[in-house]
Amino acid sequence: MARIALDAMGGDFAPRAPLSGALQALRESDSDLAIQLVGRTGTISAELDSLLKGELAADAKQRDRIEIVEAPEVIEMSDKPSAVVRGKPNNSMSIGLKLQLESRSDAFVSAGNTGAQMAASAMLLKLHPGLTRPAIATAFPTRRQPVVVLDAGANVDCSARELLQFAWLGAVYAECVLGRSNPAVGLLSIGEEAEKGNAVVKEANAAFATAGFNFVGNVEGRDIPHGECARGPIDVVVCDGFVGNVVLKFYEGVMPMVLEVLQQHGIDRSQLKDVIRTFDASEYGGAPLLGVRGISMICHGNSTPRAIANAVKAAARAADSGMNALIGERLTSMANAALAAGSVA
């Protein structure tokens, strides 16, 4: 039984998109899913009533799996992330995350201000021992199975030591949540050779080589959509949050462009339906903020109900898999192995 706290006030289409998404997730899940809608009780109740009396009337039977949790303050997209937790202590993100601290909830999902979600998650849930920064992990569709790229935007200027932490997090996530055995970790660079890359990447390459995970060496941009590099399949690609965010958004922009060109060349949109689905970010269920002691799933601000529903279900899978405890355990053993090997100070 996973209990998922959902930020009812977060995202461009809140509260309607989160509420519709919640009902959709409940409809598509066994009875072992419950949702806490966090935000202004009055707003949520009114919107939920309207949905259940209107277009989603068939979902009325899901109502008793929904709890509404009051959070009177709302985070705006313009709010400064670092100031939000103290400045608006009763915002829907903080209240939603605190449910995990009280063991009342198993995971938190939001489509609101990403910076604020990162800051609130790190401050309230805290980080696993040995970590200095959390990282956003994103699944990229590839020719093979999806590849986890991290960091996708939480950290812009990263040290080699931080990239090493991301590698650990990605490897543990790929193993525990995606079920990849002995996941292959690549370091994103501009050439396969260890001496290629910028100063931080070159330093990271040396640290990765003795860090105790399955490091396949540097990978290049083209290896991500291929899902493999010259040395075999890849499960995890590590980069700083600047590069990761640029590539992620580039990917999101390429597909509409390609589809437009295809249609210009006379290929009918109906033929492309399954293809669009393959590359649709909303099918991939949000991006976990890894490294925090708990589960915090980040959704796009423009998330549709479908995207929210998938994120809620992904959060439930993460909770059911015991991801958080597993990450903690594996991080400790990896950090110990790396210390023993002398690859970190």
CA distance 97 to 125: 7
Least separation in angstroms between CB 265 and a copy of itself: 5
User: Over 258-296, what HEC string results?
Assistant: HHHHHHHCCCCHHHHHHHHHHCCHHHHCCEEEECECCCE
CB 87, min distance to a copy of itself, A: 18
Gap between the Cα atoms of 327 and 344, Å rounded: 19
Write out the residues near a copy of itself by the rule CB under 8 A.
Answer: 142-143, 153, 156-157, 188-190, 197-199, 201, 220-226, 239-243, 245-258, 260-262, 265-267, 271-272, 274-275, 278-279
Work out how close the CB of 170 gets to a copy of itself at its nearest, in angstroms, rounded to a whole number.
17
- Peptide bond between residue 151 and the one before it cis (omega within 30 degrees of 0): yes
d(CA 55, CA 83): 38
Token pair 């100070």 is found at: 345
Q: Rank residues 50 and 198 by Cβ distance to a copy of itself and give the closer one.
A: 198
Which CB, 102 or 274, lies closer to a copy of itself?
A: 274
Q: What is the DSSP letter of 128?
A: P
> Cβ neighbours of residue 181 under 8 Å, at least 6 residues apart?
175
CB of 172 vs a copy of itself, minimal distance in Å: 24
**Paired tokens of 112:** 């609101």
Is the distance from CB of 211 to CB of 115 less than 8 angstroms? no
* 342, two tokens: 């002398």
Residue 271: CB minimum distance to a copy of itself, A: 6
Q: Which is nearer to a copy of itself, 58 or 190 (CB)?
A: 190
Between 86 and 143, whose beta carbon lies closer to a copy of itself? 143
Which residue's CB is nearer to a copy of itself, number 86 or number 265? Answer: 265
Shortest distance (Å) from residue 277 CB to a copy of itself: 10
CB of 100 to a copy of itself, least distance (A): 28
End-to-end CA distance of the chain: 41
Name which of 119 and 316 has its Cβ closer to a copy of itself.
119
> Is the peptide bond between 157 and the residue preceding it cis, with omega within 30 degrees of 0?
no
Between 19 and 281, name the residue whose CB sits nearer to a copy of itself.
Answer: 281
Tokens of 130: 């040995």
